[in-house]
Structure 1
């Protein structure tokens, strides 16, 4: 078997996103109890599954999914109810799987698609394309090549030494490109990326990044298409890292993580000496950040709320000339 090497250009944007995500993951990992209570785990898992299935046109709401888990009767299509039940069984079993194992990959698909398709847990035997309406977005490789391509991808997964964040995104794209199953490829790709991320940092097993993808569903498909057109995973990796960063920013910025912003405020103060005024983009450059919502929520707003930084033009908060300066204390 020839060596499988997914094509990728590691751009400055990818490196910046990896750095920001790693920082936020570090904050979560430093305070594991704040984000991993049983209630929060369950709530995030419900949101993850509901969003991942909604991307595949399942119409059940978060409230209905919650009711199903509580053993209550829910009015809905039998197939959609089965999808939810399968997904929870599958995610609960995730900790036992080896990311590079083809047997575990097939077993996971068998659980996820049980009772939904005839060949659950088996590679497809026919051709398949990805459509949006009547528009063909991607024609997958022929069925005769699927087993070899999956084997090569899993071998690459185990042997390469890229950063785990990049590996998980590349795998997600390459998996969708191969499209190894007759159905369930999207939810399997997202599931396996979560598995990969959880092996790097266990806290990510319960990060509901699928909710971000659901909100940006068109961008998700456009990123897949852009990667197809460019012949490498780069556009999709950039998109997925951005989605992960947004999901983490929401988690770190929520009440789940309390006073963790203190370290970030200290970093902001370190790059803004007393007597100097800088614009938001200049502060972000000094911090090595590229995601404006993360900077605003976790750095700038807390510092202003603490009375440590102030706006040079407080009466026009959105002014393009707005700058920020240290408050001398």
Structure 2
């Protein structure tokens, strides 16, 4: 399928932010922070869910989401609880969604909005305008154009040669502009940008960009409106790359972000797959790790059945079960 490239400009400010984010991702990979410690991953996921729903008016706190995850009862509006439960299920299944498939977008919306609107998982067929106060701030394309526009947008992200970091920001803006669903477009746009980024950069699975957006919520809407008025997504690209840079800064500067034993083993599995390897290979990947810590990592993984060990002492080789 051919596509019309959405309008935007790669300005000097966009290039500067792109360079900064690319360098930060390099630092994340060098420090092996693309799969941070289990507790930090859990905390960041809770922060993501709370923030993306708070932007839409949900009042449930991070502490209450933690309680829900631990199957405890909380006092809150039933609608807010359902929004959180749906979001937990959706984010738990991030890897099952196919980034460039319209059917997968519909499936994610169905999970995210299940029980909240009657047509969850279905594109809108009617026309819609977005009202702020007493003013219509945005008139979305007519309902009969939505399927084609969304397919074209996914095709653009898939095959266009511009950097994926830029393309996902463009997707996020254009998704909000198309407004493909009767409700849930904001949380879906943020979710799908994460899914698109994860495909190239695994760190984005646990990076709570939504909490940065929530802190700058007024600027988020200003960037959307500026892009609407200009007829191109450049202001929104600049805003979102800035949010991504802030989120990466927070991860890099966090002292407890370095991966623990279980996370290191999972990271190494992504590198070696089913190949056999030695402790020396493991140490070469995790530069700065002591021999004793590497031995302990491999011993724990072998005892728990994650690794199979052949040979003894210095001649030992390992492979993933």
TM-score, normalization: structure 1? 0.76
Q: Equivalents in 1 of 2:238, 2:3: separation in Å?
A: 25
- Match of 2:237? 237
Is the 1:31–1:257 contact (alpha carbons within 8 Å) kept by the matching residues of 2?
Answer: no
Q: Equivalents in 1 of 2:19, 2:99: separation in Å?
A: 24
- Helix, strand or coil: the match of 1:130? strand
- Match of 2:69? 69
- Match of 1:135? 135
Question: How big is the shift at 1:95?
Answer: 0.8
Pair 1:186 & 2:166 matched: no
Is the 1:198–1:205 contact (alpha carbons within 8 Å) kept by the matching residues of 2?
Answer: yes
**Gaps spanning 5+ residues in structure 2: where?**
259-321
Is the 1:28–1:35 contact (alpha carbons within 8 Å) kept by the matching residues of 2?
Answer: no
- Match of 1:5? 5
Matched residues, number:
258
Relative to structure 1, is the Cα distance of residues 159 and 138 closer, same or farther in structure 2, using a 3 angstrom cutoff? Answer: same
Q: Equivalents in 2 of 1:231, 1:205: separation in Å?
A: 31
- Match of 1:43? 43
Pair 1:209 & 2:216 matched: no
Is the 2:64–2:74 contact (alpha carbons within 8 Å) kept by the matching residues of 1?
Answer: yes
Larger mean Cα displacement after TM superposition, 126-135 or 140-149: 126-135
Q: Equivalents in 1 of 2:235, 2:34: separation in Å?
A: 33
- Match of 1:108? 108
Is the 2:33–2:203 contact (alpha carbons within 8 Å) kept by the matching residues of 1?
Answer: no
Relative to structure 1, is the Cα distance of residues 71 and 178 closer, same or farther in structure 2, using a 3 angstrom cutoff? Answer: same
Q: Equivalents in 1 of 2:248, 2:63: separation in Å?
A: 23
Pair 1:32 & 2:35 matched: no
Q: Equivalents in 1 of 2:156, 2:238: separation in Å?
A: 20
Q: Equivalents in 2 of 1:219, 1:169: separation in Å?
A: 15
Relative to structure 1, is the Cα distance of residues 6 and 68 closer, same or farther in structure 2, using a 3 angstrom cutoff? Answer: same
- Match of 1:308? none
Is the 2:113–2:184 contact (alpha carbons within 8 Å) kept by the matching residues of 1?
Answer: yes
Is the 1:34–1:257 contact (alpha carbons within 8 Å) kept by the matching residues of 2?
Answer: no
Q: Equivalents in 2 of 1:257, 1:80: separation in Å?
A: 31
Relative to structure 1, is the Cα distance of residues 144 and 210 closer, same or farther in structure 2, using a 3 angstrom cutoff? Answer: same
- Match of 2:92? 92
- Helix, strand or coil: the match of 1:256? coil
Deviation readout 1:210-230 (Å, 9 max, x if unpaired): 001101101000100000100
Relative to structure 1, is the Cα distance of residues 64 and 2 closer, same or farther in structure 2, using a 3 angstrom cutoff? Answer: same
Question: How big is the shift at 1:35?
Answer: 5.4
TM-score, normalization: structure 2? 0.78
Relative to structure 1, is the Cα distance of residues 22 and 34 closer, same or farther in structure 2, using a 3 angstrom cutoff? Answer: closer
- Match of 1:269? none
Return structure 1 stretches of 4+ with deviation > 3 angstroms: none
Question: How big is the shift at 1:2?
Answer: 6.0
Question: How big is the shift at 1:108?
Answer: 0.4
- Match of 1:172? 172
**Gaps spanning 5+ residues in structure 1: where?**
259-329
- Match of 1:122? 122
Pair 1:16 & 2:23 matched: no
Question: How big is the shift at 1:3?
Answer: 2.6
Is the 1:110–1:121 contact (alpha carbons within 8 Å) kept by the matching residues of 2?
Answer: yes
Deviation readout 1:222-261 (Å, 9 max, x if unpaired): 1000001001010000000011111111111121357xxx
